[in-house]
Structure formats: structure tokens, C-alpha cells
Chain A
Amino acid sequence: MYPAPEYADFDKQLLEDLGVQKMTWKEIFPRLQADLLSRSSRIHTRKRDSPWYEAFADLGLSALKATSNTPVMFRKQSLICLSKVSQWTGAPGMGFGGQKNIYFPTTGTVSVPDDIGLPLADRTASANPKVRELYAALGVEECSKGTIYAAIEAAQASDSASLNLNSHLQYLFQTDCEPSEVKPWLLVPTDRGPKGSGRRLYFASHAAYHLDQLLPRDIRHDNNLACSVIPEEVLKLEPLNLRIDKRTWLTWLKEATGARYHPQLTRKGYSGTELSTDLCKVVELYPSKFLGTLKAHWSEYRHKASQVRDLLKECRVPCMFGKSHFLHATYLPTSQILDKIDELGIDVSAIAVLDLPDGQIDEDQYREWRFLEDFGVCAKPDLQFYKSALEELYYMDGLNIAQAKRAYRSMALLATIGDQEDLR
């Protein structure tokens, strides 16, 4: 029998005078062991952050400070709850069959992944300061970041299918792990399963000229493309504007995985620099978006465009009225081009006028598209233009000399300017 809790603040000497005695450890241990063996063990079933458990933790701490073999006996009891369900163990290093090390489940406030083979103490218990104090006194320790990083690497190398890769990513980011150190081995969830860093790894996106939209999932799947997309849920694991040291979550992911939003322009091929595989797939499978992709990312692409100029010139691109032509043989839909077509009285389909997202382009829009001139695209009628026009006139029914004269007149003016340039 025990005094009611209300006597906790009573003068203990008075209680002793009334015959109340302190229970010895010799008397406590049988009760402790009986409880641990019971199916309804209070130690194993009570909430590990409850006042009861805090009181138990106090008791445990006093046991560990006791004399004789009390601390040893206490350490041997299965009093540490592990993070795995219904697993209890004694203090680490207490003999055959026990854990050599037990770690707290957080590094500071960052949760340690629980699927990397490290024995972790229960999160609820570890979060309670009093219970944590008991666990620490029993030998539970904080695991070094280096040990955790190595455990993550080992776990990913052995069996990636069943792992919670998101928790690994979050731990590495939140503990300010240098992304270049993990990039060689880190796996990330993608629509094609766990993937390591690579050139064909992309972020999910709704932007029109990001790969996730350039080659949508069904196209990727139907064509068995090897590019992989990191799902949106991964990007949302952390707030976009959260910075750990100098990096945001997105910055860290980019550096740790090499993932990007849009295809690279080039790649190293057997015969030298080539167009990247995924950009070639855009040309092949979604050609209507190819030129828009070049324009959208030209600030990056322009630095390497000269290496693949000839290849870009030979890309087949959609023109007005459903036809496609080699890029170098096409024309921008400027007013000079379209007005001349109208003036000559020929069909627009006779000329390889680019079918741009903007449709007919004005002066401002021309400035955004003029980079295509590096690849042979013309913004004004040239010799090829009039050749095509004459070919169209050749087959035209009801042609009159006025139409022919208009063509020759325009060619004459073009030739005059060209001659002058030749003579300079």
C-alpha cells in the first residue's frame, strides 16, 4: 500500500514517524520485472510522455544513481522503447543480444530516417525532456550526422524499393548536408522508380516549356522514354522559401540530384557535341513546342548553340497549314513576309512560314524570335522566297502578267541591293 499522491508535499519525517517506510530497490525490482512480463505492462503501455511516465523516469534516474548493483540491474531491464513498433530493449552495450548503440531519433529538431538500419529510440519518449533524460542516462545517444549519412547511403545501395526516400532527402537538406557529397549515390523518387543523379532527371512542372509538359507522362510512357520526373510531392516536402544556410530546398535538390526543369541543349555524343536526347524527342514527338522551347530557354541555350548550329538548322519544324520544313528553309511570320505573300497573290502554304505560338509577329515579338536567324530563318523575303513564289505561280491557274511582274519587280529590287553589296 502506498500513501495517496496528496501526501507528496507532506513532511516526510512525520510520515516516517507514523510508520511509512521507503521501499528498497530490493523490493522494487520484483515489482518492476513482474510488470515488464505482464501483458498489460504499465511501463510498456502507458503513454510515454504522460505524467506517470515522467514519474517513472524520475524513479529510473534515482535507480541509476543508487549504490551496489542497482544501476546494472536497472540497465538490464527492457525499459527503452525503440522506434519500431512494440520493440523494447535494455540499455545499450549491456551484453549478449542487446543493442550496441541506441540513438535518439532526431538530430536537433530534424527527424532521423527510421528505415536506414539505425536503432532509434521512440520519438514520443525522446520528445519528453524527463523521459529523454532517463534514456540518455541509460546510454541512448545522439547519432553523428556522418554516421547517419553513411547509413542512408548504405540503405539506398542495398534496397531502394522499400525505403522512404523523401525522409532521407529531408534529413540531408535540413542538416545542411553538402549536396555535392551525396550526389554520387543519392536516390530520389521519380515516376520511373528511384533514380540517381543524371542528365535526364527533371522536376514535375506545369510550365509549358518544361520537360514535364514538353513530353507529358503519357508520351513518355507510350514511347518508353528514359527521362524521369521527380513528382510534385517531393518539391512540396519543404517550403519553397525555406533556406538552410544559403540554399533553398529547390536549390539543394538541384545540386544534389542534377535535376532540372527543361532539357539541356546539347550532350556529348560519339561524333562530338549533339542535340540532347530529350530535345530531339521534343522535335520528334511534340514538334509544335520545339521553337517555343528554344525561345523560352534561349538565355541558357545561346551559350552552346554554336556547337550544334548545323544540327538545329536541320530540325524539321511545323509551318503554317500543317506542313513541316527544315528550320534553315523557313521564314518568320513577319508582316514583310505575309504582306509580300499577299501582294504576290500566292497561297501562304507555298512558303515555309513558321507556325509560331504567337502567330503573326509584330516588331516587339520579332526581337524575341530573331535568334532563329542564326539558323537560317529569314524575316524578310529572300531569293528562296521568290523561287518558291515563282514555283507556286508556275502551277497557278489563271495567272496574269501583273502577278509575274510583281514577283520579278521584287526580285529585281533584291538583286539590286545584293549587287551593290557585292560591289562594295
Chain B
Amino acid sequence: MSQSFKSGDTLLTANSDFFLDGDFIYDPEDCDWVNAADCVWKGPDFLSCRTVLKPFYAEEDHLKSFFTATLKIGNATLETIIKELRFRRDSDQKADGQLEFCGKAYAYLESNAHSDEAWMNLR
């Protein structure tokens, strides 16, 4: 977890060394710390393998800029949903919960896949 930075480093240059190598993003919903690679800024609330940060940190422009511009944490993509589907498939969650999740996931995909290329990737 430890890293040393030279005086004068900015978070832009240090991003990959710090927030990606350690779990320093606080998830207040789970009261846990997560890695920046496991976060999205904006995304559907059914995500479990990614922490959606906007609901907790969006009230200040500084914080939004910090996560999205400085740490380059992007929004959920179709790929994010695909990964979530794979994650759920491989998990031991009950079938009822899985069914509800799948409904939300497929609805999300349908409403967000706008291009032929996107549909091709989904197939």
C-alpha cells in the first residue's frame, strides 16, 4: 500500500500509482474501501461489482472533478453491465434475486445500446 511521491507530483501523474494500487475510495454504502478501478462515477443502482460514486459525492463540483477528471473514473458502460452479468452468473445468489437483476440489466442495455456496433458487441 505504501508509496512515496516526490514533492510536486500531481494526482494526474500519480493516479496509476496511488488510487489504482491501493483501496482508497470510500464506499459509504458498504462502509468499505475500494480500488479506483472498481468504481464508476455514474451507473445503475443494481451494480454490485462496481461502486457508483455519484450518489455520495456529487453535491460538490470539487469532488466530482476530483473523481471524474483527476482520477479519471468514468461512467458505467455497456461493458460494465456485461461484467456485472458475468459476475452474477458466477455468484451463488438466489435465483429470485438473479431474475430481478437480469430484468433491470437487460432493460438498461436496451435503453443504452444506441448503435449497431454496440449491439454487435453485445451479441
Chain A residues packing against B (C-beta within 8 Å): 329, 376, 378, 382-384, 387, 390-391, 393-394, 399-401, 404-405, 408-409, 411-416, 418-419, 421-422
B66-102: contact bitstring with A at CB < 8 Å (1 yes, 0 no)? 1100100000000000000000000000000000000
Chain A interface helix/strand/loop/mixed: helix
Knowing A383-B9, A418-B10, A419-B12, the reply to whether A404 touches B1 (Cβ < 8 A) is no
Question: Which residues does chain A contribute within 8 Å of B33, judged by CB atoms?
Answer: 394
Of the listed stretches B21-29, B43-51, B103-111, B112-120, chain A binds B21-29
Across the interface, A412 reaches (CB within 8 A) one of B1, B28, B70, namely B70
Partner of B4 from the list A384, A400, A418 (CB cut-off 8 Å) is: A384
Q: Is B11 touching A411 in the complex (CB atoms < 8 A)?
A: yes
13 further interface pairs, Cβ-Cβ under 8 Å (given A387-B18, A409-B63, A415-B12): A382-B5, A383-B5, A387-B5, A391-B1, A393-B26, A401-B56, A409-B60, A412-B63, A412-B70, A415-B10, A415-B11, A416-B65, A419-B70
- Shortest Cβ gap from B65 to chain A (Å): 6
Q: Please name all residues of chain B whose beta carbon is closer than 8 Å to the beta carbon of A390 when the two chains form the complex.
A: 24
A415 surroundings in chain B (CB, below 8 A)? 10-12, 66, 70
3 A-B pairs closest in CB distance? A418-B10, A412-B66, A404-B26
* Option from B18, B63, B65 in Cβ contact (under 8 Å) with A405: B63
Chain B residue contacts of A411, Cβ below 8 A: 11, 66
In the complex, chain B residues whose CB is within 8 Å of the CB of A393: 26
Number of interchain pairs (Cβ within 8 Å): 71
Partner of A418, one of B2, B12, B56, B67: B12
Residues of B within 8 A of A413 (CB): 62
Q: How far is the CA of A313 from the CA of B65 in the complex (A)?
A: 34
Contact yes or no, A412 B5, CB < 8 A = no
Bound complex: CA A299 to CA B5 (Å): 30
Measured CA separation A399–B3 after assembly (Å): 23
Known contacts A409-B62, A412-B65; A329 and B10 CB within 8 A of each other: no
Whether A382 pairs with B7 at a CB distance below 8 angstroms is yes
A413, B63: Cα distance in complex, Å: 9
What would be 6 A-B contacts, judged by CB atoms less than 8 Å apart?
A390-B24, A408-B67, A409-B62, A415-B10, A415-B70, A422-B10
Q: Let me know if A387 and B3 touch, CB within 8 A.
A: yes
Q: In the bound complex, how far is the Cα of B66 from the Cα of A409, in angstroms?
A: 8
Q: How far is the CA of A257 from the CA of B65 in the complex (A)?
A: 65
